[in-house]
Amino acid sequence: MPDTTALDRPALRRQLLSARQAWAQTPEAAAAQAQLQARVMAVLAQLEPMCLGLYWPMQGEFNPRDLALSAKQQWACHLALPFARRTPVDMHFRAWDGQTPDTQDECRIPSSSGKPVEPDVVLVPCLGFTQAGFRLGYGGGYFDRYLAAHPGVTAVGVAWQQGLLADGILTPEAHDQALVAVLTENQTYSG
């Protein structure tokens, strides 16, 4: 967890990202990956998504690929990856087969060249998060814009426990969208 004094968002992002990347290299990270995957699968078993929106992991994020393949097999759900555009700023999801992504979006993040789809459940990566279900991402606002435009989507955050922010560290802004829940390797936080 970062220092308990309030930081500006860019400084907070840098601090959280540095801590997460260092932690991701530890033996504890592999155990946490398995624990978080089990927790997410249990939630997905309740939700039974028709189309599951995921993300391609980067910079020490939880890797949802094995989970995605299991979900596809267990519930015959479709999979989707986000595709972000810089101009105009926009994000949509594209059908994904679960294989290594075959393209990159305009932010240079691996994505799919599949057709646009609308997931009913979306896993949202969190750099940091609050107990109330607000997240801190990388600062582009792509997921917040997407969730605001798709209020019927069940948005579930996935994060490492170390990303939990103490009260007062992250004050939600007008554009921030609360998640239904944030899952970590240790706990579920309901928004």
- Provide the pLDDT for residue 3: 46
Any idea how long the chain is? Answer: 191
Domains defined along the chain, listed by start: 9-190 (3.40.50.10420)
- Provide the pLDDT for residue 4: 41
Taking every pair of Cα atoms in the chain, the longest distance, rounded to a whole number of angstroms, is 46
Q: Secondary structure of the chain in the HEC alphabet? A: CCCCCCCCHHHHHHHHHHHHHHHCCCHHHHHHHHHHHHHHHHHHHHHCCCEEECCCCCCCCCCCHHHHHHHHHHHCCEEEEEEEECCCCEEEEEEECCCCCCEECCCCCEECCCCEECCCEEEEECCEECCCCCEECCCCCHHHHHHHHCCCCEEEEECCHHHECCCCCCCCCCCCCCCCEEECCCCEEEC
Both tokens of residue 96? 């994904």
* Structural contact between residues 84 and 107, judged by C-beta atoms closer than 8 angstroms: yes
Spell out the per-residue pLDDT of the chain, length 191, in tens: 444 445 688 899 999 999 999 999 999 999 999 999 999 999 999 999 999 999 999 999 999 999 999 999 988 999 999 999 999 999 999 999 999 999 999 999 999 999 999 999 999 999 999 998 889 888 888 998 999 999 999 999 999 999 999 877 887 776 778 899 999 999 999 86
